[in-house]
Structure 1
């Protein structure tokens, strides 16, 4: 299986308060999902030919536990399904104490970067 992980040291800029997704100074759900997506991008990198990239098409994610500013979160992604250009990953994020912070599934699709951007 193709897998990767990414780590975040939570800063005030990563909080729900700063992102506008809440009013508490804890890791915001949008930032946690972005961390999980970063892990899927890294996991998919070895599957791409020159000129290809991936784009996210679906996110199903549960944010389960708060993380304070100064805490660390590591998101791991594992490719669990591939159908031609479609890539489906399971993702899980744990804090520095090993607690499950969030988990879910992210779907990405392999695209030709130039053709994709030409659609704009």
Structure 2
């Protein structure tokens, strides 16, 4: 398994489908914390390179959502590897808007797993099988 620690950023524009009202985590049209979390996890996936037989799964998240983002706002989420111990990888994550305002920060923890072995442990067949 190869490992190359790095920093990776992804940028998204907030749409109506990304809002708390749309996702059921609130009732107003601002960026939902669950969507922000998904964008953080997307950034963590880009911050490490694993062989084709491996993937990583999220195991722990600590997130402080500090400021609201309106529909149409551009949000950049950045993940930086800050710790690696065997299969465990910890990332520092931050989100900024296009004006540079800090929107959120936290830590995401992921564990590297062998893809086939992990899937074989599921109790039920995958959709499409």
| Structure 2 equivalent of residue 91 of structure 1 | 93
Q: 3-state SS of the aligned residue for 1:97?
A: coil
In terms of Rg, which structure is larger?
2
| Structure 1 equivalent of residue 30 of structure 2 | 26
After TM superposition, the score normalised by the length of structure 2 is 0.90
**Structure 1: 5+ residue runs without aligned partners?**
none
Instruction: After superposition, give the CA deviation of every residue in 1:12-63 in whole Å (9 maximum; x if it has no partner).
Output: 000000000000000000000110110001102x2x1231000000000000
Q: Where has structure 1 moved over 3 Å in runs of 4 or more?
A: none
CA RMSD of superposed structures (Å) = 0.7
Paired residues, number: 118
**Structure 2: 5+ residue runs without aligned partners?**
123-129
| Structure 1 equivalent of residue 126 of structure 2 | none
After TM superposition, the score normalised by the length of structure 1 is 0.96
